[in-house]
Structure 1
Amino acid sequence: MSDNSVIGVLIPLHASGATVALLLGAWNLRRNPKGDRPHRLVGRVWVVAMYWTVISSFFIKELTPGRFSWIHGLSIFTFVTLSIGLWAAVTHRVQTHRRFMTGSYFGLLGAFAGAVAVPARDIPQWLVHEPARLALGAAACLLVAAAVITVSRRRRAARPTSNAART
């Protein structure tokens, strides 16, 4: 497989991970209560999608062929903020967790704006030249996010609420 064909697969997978993270992050930030089972399950999938997006970005070097660019610096920054937010959740530092995860999400929003606002980037190009493929990819991301949210809600509903309900 040539470098171009690897990049041809990697960029859509990178964009898909970012899109799923964008959808799940919005859901988790908007809903209340925070910290319950659905929040934690959706948050775990969001963290995996975010780490995938960050790590995969280091293999994409289209802006400066063969070299890292300033965007990779933002990826390093996001990796750090995401890791601090995850550490804060595991150690029950709620305020720190909230700040770092919210910041990581808004950074993702900024990256998304940059990916769609620059006409030469892949997403605007796909919109013009391959709209059906872009729509199919977006629909797949919506389905994945909806499935994660549905599973998180069902797990909560299926769990007994008291010891009396278990006997």
Structure 2
Amino acid sequence: MPSSWTVLITLHAIAASYSLIFGAVNLLRRTKGGRAHRIVGRIWAVSMYVVVLTSFGIRTIDGGFNWLHALSVLTFCTLTAGLWAIWRRNVRAHRSFMTGSYFGLIGAFVGVLAVPSRRIPQLAIHELPLLGLLVLVLLGTSALTIIGIAQLRRTPTAQIAR
């Protein structure tokens, strides 16, 4: 990683990448509510909380906060409300809050990419092979996780218990 990437920023970027991938997987799946949906959803929710919480340690050049931090506060609230809603068996509210949280993530990602001085565009300009490798690793680990989850669907519950 370039020297300007701290451990916090690296953790934030990795969690955001997984959030983008696993959120899309769950939103695009035809069947909702099954074991695979819950597992992917839990991975997504944990990675989203990591994104939100690490964002507060990442400041602007002058040490302040910006609109992305406000989005983090909103996302923390909507994510928590979505989890609360499904715990209360309110599927409609759960769907709304989680979809909103995901599209907020997309908006933040576009916002980060749109500013050329941010780290990801700089990585694309100065370290393109490294960025390509990172994308391949993220996609590969995500694919392996999704394949593993898909295998759970095919394994009878009695075999998992053993």
**TM-score (normalizing by structure 2):** 0.89
Aligned to 2:22: 24
Return the letter of the residue paired with 2:123: W
Cα deviation, residue 28, structure 1: 0.6
Aligned to 1:126: 123
Cα deviation, residue 131, structure 1: 1.1
Distance across 1 between alignment mates of 2:31 and 2:114: 34
Q: Report matched runs for 1:1-167 at 5 Å.
A: 8-61=6-59, 63-160=60-157
Number of equivalent positions: 157
Distance across 2 between alignment mates of 1:116 and 1:44: 26
Distance across 2 between alignment mates of 1:64 and 1:141: 28
Larger radius of gyration: 1
Distance across 2 between alignment mates of 1:35 and 1:12: 32
Residue deviations 1:100-124, cap 9 Å, x none?
0000000001011111121111111
What is the identity percentage for the equivalent residue pairs of Structure 1 and Structure 2? Answer: 48
Distance across 1 between alignment mates of 2:43 and 2:54: 16
Runs of 4+, deviation exceeding 6 Å: none
Most deviating of 82-91 and 65-74: 65-74
Return the letter of the residue paired with 1:107: G
Cα deviation, residue 147, structure 1: 2.3
Distance across 2 between alignment mates of 1:64 and 1:127: 20
Structure 2 CA distance for partners of 1:7 and 1:131, relative to 1, 3 Å: closer
Return the letter of the residue paired with 1:69: N
Could you say what secondary structure the match of 1:89 adopts?
Answer: helix
Cα deviation, residue 132, structure 1: 1.8
Cα deviation, residue 159, structure 1: 1.9
Gaps in structure 1 of 5+ consecutive residues: none
Cα deviation, residue 7, structure 1: 5.2
Distance across 2 between alignment mates of 1:124 and 1:142: 19
Return the letter of the residue paired with 1:20: Y
Could you say what secondary structure the match of 1:120 adopts?
Answer: coil
Distance across 1 between alignment mates of 2:157 and 2:43: 24
